[in-house]
Amino acid sequence: MSEGIDVEALRADTPGCAHVAHFNNAGAALPPRPVTDAVTAHLRLEARIGGYEAAEHAEKAIARSYDAIAALIGAAPDEIALIENATRAWDMAFYSIPFAPGERILTTTSEYASNGIAFAQIARRTGARVQAVPDDEHGQMSLPALAAELDRGGVRLVAVNHVPTHNGLINPAERIGALCRQAGVTFLLDACQSIGQFPVDVARIGCDMLSATGRKFLRGPRGTGFLYVRRDLITRLEPPFLDLHAATWTAPGRYDIRPDARRFETWERNVAAQIGLGVAADYARAVDLAATGRRIQTLADGLRRDLAGLPGITVLDRGERRCGIVTFDVHGHQATDVKRELRRHNVNVSVTDIAHHRLDAHPVPAAIRASVHHYNTCLL
């Protein structure tokens, strides 16, 4: 047992551990056997009786996925939409907001490229203005600077990533949420890298909307994600596009949008993957997210310490509170070459690139990213 977790049991549940040292959990974690079993079982059912018929047969399992995701983040099932990935989930929330010319969108300097592109498009389309709130001395969003900008008024949205993909920090989401509530400003939290890594509770954070993926620290299938929208906000937002699942065609030229968060979904979906997502959420809760967070923190702190002690390596992480994402540079070597060489030895890492973080006040052209999970063991 380590930090209250049976690591050997986790590794036995994770076939990939026998083949690779997987430190790319911020990209896509190794799924546990219950997740892959659930996905493959439904695919076999589709092959045997047909896709539509299999979905009808699996109605309870599909409903269970909504319950599982809701329980994971402290929400209600009718506040959850199951969507094909975190970017599309974030888009469905963001593009539903009716921005007006001159309204401001406040974000972080470490915002991810997909979100940044959406900001630029909405600014061009509507005349809204995008502003990155400065960092504090730790590299995370400055709370005094955010409070000052909110006091100035004219803010339509605060959009923050909980955990950036490239610098190891955790933004102070609960304190950001408190400032947004005080100012009466909508708060959209990108929890792509935090869900499954440590406990995330939407009530404690106070976010109005939250987007996340299944494939990263939650250990779910690729091609899965979800969106949380606070119940009293749902009916005030009209999704950027609708289909016969999200709305009812009541007459030529007329439609009624459903009143729950599933208005942000589309009818066609990967049912097997969404069942797997629910299993992944249940699995994460059964392991205990608080214990997972402690173990990841221990492993990441140890990795930073060991890397810092090696000649020619610089650890690049920032933040007052750090997470399981560890970024570093090997002097005299391209990050992509290091990744390729490690892969030859069955060690998986990834590379983070400046093109993904154009607002960053402390840009690094490229860095190696090692991201640990509760099933990892010795690192160096």
Examine the domain organization and report whether 95 and 126 are in the same domain.
yes
Q: Which of 230, 191, 173 is nearest to 112 (CA)?
A: 191
Note whether residue 36 is domain-resident. no
Q: What is the pLDDT of residue 128?
A: 99
User: Do residue 228 and residue 122 come from a single domain?
Assistant: yes
- Domain-embedded: residue 365: yes
Residue 378 lies in a domain: no
50 and 183 share one domain: yes
pLDDT bracket for residue 379 (50, 70, 90): low
Q: Which of 234, 261, 286 is the last residue of a domain?
A: 286
Q: Are residues 167 and 256 in the same domain?
A: yes
pLDDT the model gives residue 365: 74
Which band of pLDDT confidence, cut at 50, 70 and 90, is reported for residue 46?
very high
Is 334 part of a structural domain of the chain?
yes
Q: pLDDT by residue (tens digit) across 284-311?
A: 999 999 999 999 999 999 999 999 999 9
Within 8 A by CB and 6+ apart from 44, the residues are none
* 1 belongs to a structural domain: no
H helix or E strand, kind and range, residue 132: strand 129-132
35 falls within a domain:
no
Give the H or E element holding residue 138. Answer: none
Q: What is the CATH number of the domain that holds 190?
A: 3.40.640.10
What residue has token string 């990108």?
190
The pLDDT tens digits of the residues spanning 319-337 come to: 999 999 999 999 999 999 9
At 338 the three-state DSSP class reads helix
Please tell me whether residues 215 and 239 are part of one structural domain: yes
Asked if residue 140 belongs to a domain, the reply is yes
pLDDT at 360: 66
Same domain membership, residue 250 and residue 270:
yes
Residue 282 sits in the same domain as residue 293: no
Residue 2 in this model has a pLDDT that exceeds 80 = no
Compute how many other C-beta atoms are within 10 angstroms of the C-beta atom of residue 345: 8
Show the tokens assigned to 153: 């008024």
End-of-domain residue from the set 266, 286, 306: 286
CA 308 to each of CA 317, 326, 359, 369, 380: distance values in angstroms, whole numbers, following the listed order: 11, 11, 27, 14, 12
Give the phi and the psi of residue 214 in degrees, each rounded to 5. Answer: -95, -25
- Six-digit token string for 157: 């949205």
pLDDT of residue 366: 86
**For residues 169 and 138, is the Cβ–Cβ distance under 8 A?**
yes
Pairwise CA distance, residues 211 & 285, whole Å: 18
Q: Which CATH number covers residue 347?
A: 3.90.1150.10
| Position 362 confidence tier, pLDDT thresholds 50, 70, 90 | low
121-151 pLDDT per residue, tens? 999 999 999 999 999 999 999 999 999 999 9
Band of pLDDT at residue 216, cut at 50, 70 and 90: very high
| Cα–Cα distance measured from residue 319 to residue 167, given in angstroms and rounded to the nearest whole number | 8
For residue 231, is pLDDT > 70? yes
DSSP character for 355? G
Q: For residue 288, give both structure tokens.
A: 């205990």
Same-domain pairing of 301 and 180: no
Q: Kindly state whether residues 21 and 76 are assigned to the same domain.
A: no
**Is 340 inside a domain boundary?**
yes
Question: 254 by DSSP, 3-state: which?
Answer: strand
Q: How many domains does the chain have?
A: 2
Pairing assessment for the beta strands 313-315 and 325-330 based on DSSP bridges: antiparallel
Nearest to residue 272, comparing CAs of 36, 33, 14, 42? 42
Structural domain ending residue among the three candidates 262, 286, 310: 286
pLDDT score at 380: 47
Look up the domain containing 324 and give its range: 7-30+289-371
| Angle (nearest 5°) at CA 38 between 37 and 42 | 115
Residue-level pLDDT at 357:
61
For residue 293, the tally of other CB atoms under 10 A from its CB is 21
Q: State how far Cα 316 lies from the chain centre.
A: 22
Mean pLDDT of the chain: 96
3-state secondary structure of 245: coil
Mean pLDDT for the stretch of residues 11-40: 98
E strand or H helix at 217, and its extent?
A: none
Query: How many helices and strands in the chain, by DSSP H and E?
Result: 13, 15
For range 201-217, the mean pLDDT: 99
Closest CA to 371 of 27, 7, 20, 24: 24
Q: Is the pLDDT of residue 361 over 90?
A: no
Mean pLDDT, range 184-192, rounded to an integer? 99
**Does 211 share its domain with 321?**
no
Evaluate if residue 59 carries a pLDDT over 70: yes
Give yes or no: residues 198 and 218 share one domain. Answer: yes
Residue 4 has a pLDDT of 86
Instruction: Clarify whether residues 116 and 239 are in a common domain.
Output: yes
In the 8-state DSSP scheme, what is residue 13?
T
- The CA-based dihedral angle spanning residues 199, 202, 207, 211, taken in that order and rounded to the nearest 10 degrees: 70
Choose among 43, 40, 36, 42: nearest CA to 15: 36
Bridge partners for 187 per DSSP: 158
